[in-house]
């Protein structure tokens, strides 16, 4: 049986570097600027027409590009316009936001083709969780009628400590049985596909930085990701590049101590930031309001303590509800401690709040900006820019797909 070609077949290591670079330049011109003609590619790349024609022929025969009409005539017949065949390959992103497991299948234009979700017990054994991951990956391919050889790779976000360079998920504090799991190696062996692992909030940062048009040209930013129920973490872009740290865990701001004698955190310390500023802490404060039957729009909207949502708290605050505003202001004040620390440390004024916190509404964002400016010295205060991110609930799984995407289309280098 003839095996379907993939994009990686075009950039195999047997080719000389100059030929790989030529192919890369032509392919990138088509991918980024298509529909585009060969004369236009020549202007951009400065490559000869025969070189470009040869590359285009290879790409077309392997079904990696497709014709998209005709361009303006250049003194003769109209030239073909070429663009990426977005169905030449597919990407899978996996978000291990325990106990939730969210998957996303995307094409090469990063259009979402399919999403699936399931849950597992936090007291599941490691082997059982690995089985669920493999089952769900196979499931999303099956319901999409997709052969495995059309999948370019799988990017997995772990809500915990990783060793990015060994492909190991070191610990997930909410899963007692999870210790030093060589996740990349295990899944490669079981699924026979390229596997990439990353921290979940870094994947959210990738998605926001890559797909939010307002951030594409920003070289430096601090991203604070809110996961419910797992907590808060920060990630950074410095001079246009993601900053990972030694193992890939830079930015665990949720476990910075803000109250010396505070309650015990799941990490084993007391008074961690996420105990006061994450989504769970906001909801707990709001539930206290309801439990005490205080007069609040929160109570009117929800009616049941266990059903209250962050969106309802945010809406109540935006409508001027005093108690809802107090709940959000308390969390905003604690969050401003983390923002003060990060902005002062990195001298980066742009802070993006992403994930579930965006449901907290305008009042919360304004409280955060106000409290942060009060804490910062004037140099940082005057340039501070705190805003919500745009990418929604699937940010981490979409970031996983992007992780594969960036590997496929990375620039060839001399090894």
Report the C-alpha gap between 9 and 138 in whole angstroms. Answer: 23
Domain CATH number, residue 17: 1.10.10.10
State how many domains the chain has: 3
Structural domain of 96: 90-204+396-408
C-alpha–C-alpha distance, residues 333 and 66, integer Å: 53
Residue 410, C-beta contacts closer than 8 angstroms, at least 6 positions apart: none
Residues 403 and 375 in one domain: no
Does residue 57 sit in the same domain as residue 123?
no
Q: Is residue 403 part of a domain?
A: yes
Residue 209 domain-assigned? no
Predicted confidence at residue 290, as pLDDT, reads 75
Would you state the pLDDT for residue 357?
95
Query: Does one domain contain both 288 and 381?
Result: yes
Q: Is residue 414 in a domain?
A: no
pLDDT at 9: 59
Closest CA to 201 of 174, 240, 230: 230
Q: Do 101 and 171 share a domain, yes or no?
A: yes
- Separation of alpha carbons 108 and 277, rounded Å: 37
**Is residue 112 domain-shared with residue 57, that is, in the same domain?**
no
Number of C-beta neighbours around residue 406 at 10 A = 13
Same domain, 161 and 288: no
* Residue 200 shares a structural domain with residue 275: no
Same domain, 232 and 376: yes
Q: Dihedrals φ, ψ of 200, to 5°?
A: -65, -40
| The dihedral sign for the CA sequence 372, 235, 94, 185 | negative
> Phi/psi of residue 294, each to 5°?
-70, 150
Kindly state the tokens that stand for 358. Answer: 């965006």
- Which own/partner pairs from 184-193 qualify as long-range (CB within 8 Å, at least 24 positions apart)? 186/130, 187/130, 187/133, 187/134, 187/154, 187/156, 190/130, 190/134, 191/134, 191/137, 191/138, 191/148, 191/154, 192/148, 193/148, 193/151, 193/153, 193/154
Residue 107 dihedral angles phi and psi, to the nearest 5°:
-90, -175
Place of tokens 């590009």: 65
Give 270's strand partners.
264
Residues 240 and 369 in one domain: yes
- Whether 210 is covered by a domain: the verdict is no
Q: Do 75 and 102 fall within a single domain? A: no
Is 63 a member of any domain?
Answer: yes
Q: What is the CATH number of the domain that holds 186?
A: 3.30.420.40
Residue 211 lies in a domain: no
Tokens 């790989």, located at residue = 20
Averaged in consecutive runs of 10 residues, what is the pLDDT profile of the chain (415 residues)?
Answer: 55 60 89 90 92 92 89 79 92 93 94 94 91 96 92 94 92 88 96 95 94 92 92 94 89 92 89 94 87 72 75 92 93 96 95 95 96 94 95 92 89 62
Domain membership of residue 134 (yes or no) is: yes
Taking each helix axis from N to C end, the angle separating 361-375 and 310-318, rounded to the nearest 10 degrees, works out to 80
Residue 1 lies in a domain: no
Q: What token pair was written down for 200?
A: 């979940």
Q: Which residue has the tokens 């400590």?
A: 161
Same domain, 61 and 141: no
Q: What is the pLDDT of residue 73?
A: 77
Last residue of a domain, one of 21, 54, 84: 84
User: How high is the pLDDT of residue 206?
Assistant: 93
Domain boundary among 65, 84, 103: 84
Residue 228 · residue 280 · CB < 8 Å:
yes
Shared domain check, 181 and 124: yes
pLDDT score of 75? 65
Q: Where is the domain boundary, 38, 69, 84?
A: 84
Closest to 37 (Cα-Cα) out of 84, 86, 82, 85: 82
């Amino acid at each position: 049986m003839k095996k379907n070609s993939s994009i990686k077949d075009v950039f195999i290591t047997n080719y000389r570097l100059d030929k790989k670079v030529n192919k890369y330049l032509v392919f990138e011109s088509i991918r980024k600027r298509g529909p585009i003609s060969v004369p236009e590619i020549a202007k951009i790349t400065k490559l000869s027409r025969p070189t470009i024609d040869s590359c285009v022929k290879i790409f077309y025969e392997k079904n990696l590009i497709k014709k998209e009409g005709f361009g303006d005539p250049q003194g003769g017949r109209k030239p073909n316009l070429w663009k990426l065949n977005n169905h030449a390959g597919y990407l899978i992103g996996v978000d291990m936001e325990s106990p939730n497991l969210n998957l996303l299948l995307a094409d090469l234009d990063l259009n979402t083709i399919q999403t699936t979700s399931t849950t597992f017990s936090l007291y599941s054994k490691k082997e059982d969780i690995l089985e669920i991951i493999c089952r769900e990956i196979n499931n999303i391919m099956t319901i999409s009628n997709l052969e495995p050889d059309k999948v370019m790779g799988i990017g997995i976000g772990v809500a915990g400590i990783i060793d990015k360079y060994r492909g190991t998920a070191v610990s997930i504090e909410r899963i007692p049985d999870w210790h030093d799991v060589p996740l990349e190696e295990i899944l490669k062996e079981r699924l026979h596909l390229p596997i990439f692992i990353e921290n979940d909030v870094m994947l959210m940062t990738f998605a926001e930085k890559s797909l939010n048009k307002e951030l594409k040209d920003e070289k430096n930013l601090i991203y604070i990701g809110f996961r419910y129920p797992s907590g808060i973490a920060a990630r950074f872009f410095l001079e246009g590049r993601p900053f990972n740290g030694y193992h890939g865990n830079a930015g665990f701001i949720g476990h910075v101590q803000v109250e010396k004698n505070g309650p015990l955190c799941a990490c084993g310390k007391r008074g961690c930031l996420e105990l006061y500023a994450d989504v769970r802490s906001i909801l707990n404060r709001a539930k206290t309001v309801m439990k005490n039957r205080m007069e609040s729009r929160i109570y009117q909207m929800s009616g049941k303590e266990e059903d209250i949502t962050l969106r309802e708290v945010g809406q109540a605050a935006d409508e001027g509800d005093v108690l809802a505003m107090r709940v959000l202001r308390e969390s905003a004040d604690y969050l401003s401690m983390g923002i003060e620390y990060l902005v002062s440390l990195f001298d980066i004024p742009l802070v993006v709040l992403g994930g579930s916190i965006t449901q907290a509404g305008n009042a919360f964002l304004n409280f955060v900006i106000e409290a942060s400016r009060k804490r910062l010295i004037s140099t940082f205060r005057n340039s501070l820019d705190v805003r919500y991110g745009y990418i929604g609930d699937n940010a981490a799984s979409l970031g996983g797909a992007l992780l594969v995407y960036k590997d496929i289309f990375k620039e060839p280098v001399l090894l």
